Each structure stands twice: as C-alpha cells, then as structure tokens.
Amino acid sequence: MVQRRIPKYKDLRPLMNFKTPEFNAKKRRLQGALTIADLRDIAKRRTPKAAFDYTEGAAEAEISLTRARQAFEDIEFTPSILRDVSTVDMSSEVLGGRVALPFGIAPTGFTRMMQTEGEIAGAGAAAAAGIPFSLSTMGTTAIEDVKAANPDGRNWFQLYMWKDRERSMALVDRAAKAGFDTLLVTVDVPVAGARLRDKRNGFSIPPQLTVGTVVNAIPRPEWWINFLTTEPLAFASLDRWSGTVGELLDTMFDPTVTFDDLAWIKQQWPGKLVVKGVQNVDDAKRLADMGVDGITLSNHGGRQLDRAPIPFHLLPDVVREVGKDTEVHLDTGIMSGADIVASIALGAKFTLIGRAYLYGLMAGGRDGVDRTIEILADQIARTMRLLGVKSLDELEPRHVTQLERLVPRQR
C-alpha cells in the first residue's frame, strides 16, 4: 500500500521556480515559434489575405510546390554513431567568399507589401548572421539602401531581363557600383505563371480596397497602420505601377531571351554570375560549358510552370554532371534545417530560402527574420550532430536516401 505524507517545504522549493513572464508581445510570440511552420501561423494571423497569399501561393493548382515540399519529407537519413560532434562547423566557401551558414536569403518581390520593414530587415538580418542577401529586380528597396543595411556582407542582385534592355543593364551597373558581388540571372520567366490566388484576391500594386479587404483588415490593424504611415510602396528599380502583379510581369518580361543574351550579360558583369531557374541536366551542362560560376536548381517556388521538375530530385544528377566545375545551388520547398542538410549531403553547395524568410518577416519584421535564421541554424546543427558529422564537408550522399513516390512510367 502507498504511504503518503505531507510534503515539506524543501521538497516543494525546487518546483516553485516560476518563469519570468515576457511582457513584450512580439518577443513572446517569436520566442514561442519553434519551427518555420509556427512562424507561418503567426504571419497568417497578422497579414492581410492578399499579401499573405502572394507569399504562400504558387501557380495554377500549386502541384509543383506541393511536390517540392513532399520530396523533402520523402527522405531517410542514415546516421553514424559514436562520433565526436561536440562542435559543428556550418560555414563554407561559396562563390569565392566565406558564409557562416549553408543558406542565404532568396530574392523576393514586393517585399514591403508583406511587412513594412521589407528588404532592410532581410539585409540587416543577413549581415548579422554572416549569410548572403539577394535583392530582387522586383524589390521595394533601392540597391543603395540595401548596401547601406548590409555594408560589409555579401549582397547579391537578381536580374530579370526586360524588354527594355537598357534599363535592365542600368540596374546591373548600379549593383556593380554599389559593391554587390554576385548577379543572379533568373531564366524561368518568359511570361508570368498563372498565380490564381492573386487573381482571385485582386492583388495589385497598390492594393485595391474592396469590402472584402476592409473586412479582412479589421483584425490586422498594425499592418494597415504601418502601410499607411510609411513611404508609399514603390519598386526600387521601376516606375510606379497601377494594376495586377501578373499584368506588370507580362509587360516587363522578355520571352525572346536566349543563351546568347546570357553570354552578353556575363561579359558586362564583373563579379560572380549564377543562373537561377535551371530545371534539367542538359541546360545545366550547357551553362557549365559557358563558364558560369553557379547554377540554382529552382522551379521558382512553384510559381511559374505547374508540374515542373522537382529541384531536389534533380540535384544528384546535376551534381554528377557539372558539380566538379560549377557550383550547384538549390531552392524551392525548403522549410527546415533538415531540408538544407539533405540538400548539402546530395551535393548542393548552397541553398536559398524565400517563403521561410518572408514568414519570419511577416511574423515580426527584422526580429522575425532573425528568428527564422536562428530556427534553421539550430535545426542544421542538431541534424548534423545526430548524423554524426561535424562539418558540411563530411556530409555525403550516403547520409540521405530519396524515397520514391512519383516514379516515371516505363514507355
């Protein structure tokens, strides 16, 4: 029979260490976010539907994005045991410079629409973390202002080739003069993808006020106060635009761009050149033969061609063909540090995060971006330790098995 007694104070005292409450609401909600999914939930609560859906959404039925994320879930890690992993080194050499972590911030358009701090928050967080920040042609902060926010760090400029070539190359010249070290040329946008969420939401620049948007804004007053009391939203590289995002993109993008144009751009740019949006092995080999410094396997976050190839599935074949001579980077679908570790193990030299960064931005501005980076870094370090590796160089294909879900039918 259980013997009971009155508890003594000395037994209760260790149980009475109450946690000091956090009275800062933003700090409290960010501290409570343990994953990128948690940041996404906060972002959704705090951001109007049209802006959130622009970040969240993809093209048509959004199959490409779903498959890209599923590919990361369909892996099996193979850990090694009894290794000294008391310290781990997550740094590496990327495009001729040291980076502290194996990921950087991807170029994102309309960023101040998501949260008013926009690219300045991203560039500042990247500077603090020692990782590259990429500014989009469709960004909402000037090239020079991004440089000021990240004066000593790695700044990359992402280029869409417009029909107006002079204006395109004027941006490239500005980026070079500002000290940006890498040019990302995005090549998967001959036309804009069919982003149906944006059409259904009437997402435009500037936002259209309807009964629906007003109702949606009522529980999100901070976003609207910030939007209405800061500088009007404008593109860093463009004139102001009144119309839907899709209409703007179709007006700008040049469907005549070829490999010859890319070679011409390469001649103009003094720094490193990476081609973003590569989706098959043959194109990767051709770009490597041209002498580009890197390629980014990407289907534009599923925002262009629906049912496009899955970048993570392409990775081993592309690395096998060009990885010795050309850096292979990866984006699309990355939502955890484990995804990044798996990518590095299969041969990617570097990865880029887009939505994960924007979820943090929407959740808490600069502090939210810092939290995104912190979450991913913690997950990378923990995954490396559990795999039994203490540096990125020790990650190998043997650590990751890609499980098959979608197997091509025999012809």
- The values of phi and psi at residue 244, to 5°, are -75, 160
Least confident of 12-26, 103-117, 231-245: 231-245
Q: Are 192 and 255 in contact (CB under 8 A)?
A: no
| Dist CA 230 CA 242 (whole Å) | 19
pTM over 0.75: yes
Which class for 214: exposed (0-12), middle (13-18), buried (19 or more C-beta within 10 A)? Answer: exposed
| pLDDT at residue 242 is higher than 60 | no
Residue 103: in which H helix or E strand, if any? strand 103-105
- pLDDT for residue 201 is more than 90: no
Show the CA angle centred on residue 218, arms to residues 213 and 223, nearest 5°.
80
Res. 145: pLDDT tops 70:
yes
Q: Per residue in 290-305, pLDDT tens?
A: 999 999 999 999 999 9
Q: Please state the φ and ψ torsions of residue 243, each to the nearest 5 degrees.
A: 160, 180
Which pLDDT band, with edges at 50, 70 and 90, does 24 fall under?
A: confident
Task: Supply the angle between the helices 337-345 and 63-73 in degrees, to the nearest 10.
Answer: 80
Highest mean pLDDT (candidates 194-203, 263-272, 358-367) = 358-367
Asked whether the predicted pLDDT for residue 241 surpasses 60, the reply is no
Q: Looking at the predicted structure, is the pLDDT value of residue 210 above 70?
A: no
**pLDDT for 368:** 98
Residues serving a catalytic function are 300
Decide if pLDDT at 232 tops 90. Answer: no
Phi, psi of 32 (to 5 degrees): -80, -10
AA identity, residue 228 = L
Mean pLDDT of 161-184: 89
Lowest mean pLDDT among 36-40, 155-159, 265-269: 265-269
pLDDT at 235: 67
Mean pLDDT of the 378-407 span? 95
What is the chain's mean pLDDT, rounded? 90
Q: Calculate Rg over the CA atoms of the chain.
A: 23
Q: CA nearest 343: which of 293, 402, 303?
A: 402
Q: Please report, as a single letter, which amino acid is at residue 180.
A: F
Candidates 91, 108, 12; CA nearest to 54 is 108
- Residue 385: which of 92, 76, 84, 102 has the closest Cα? 84
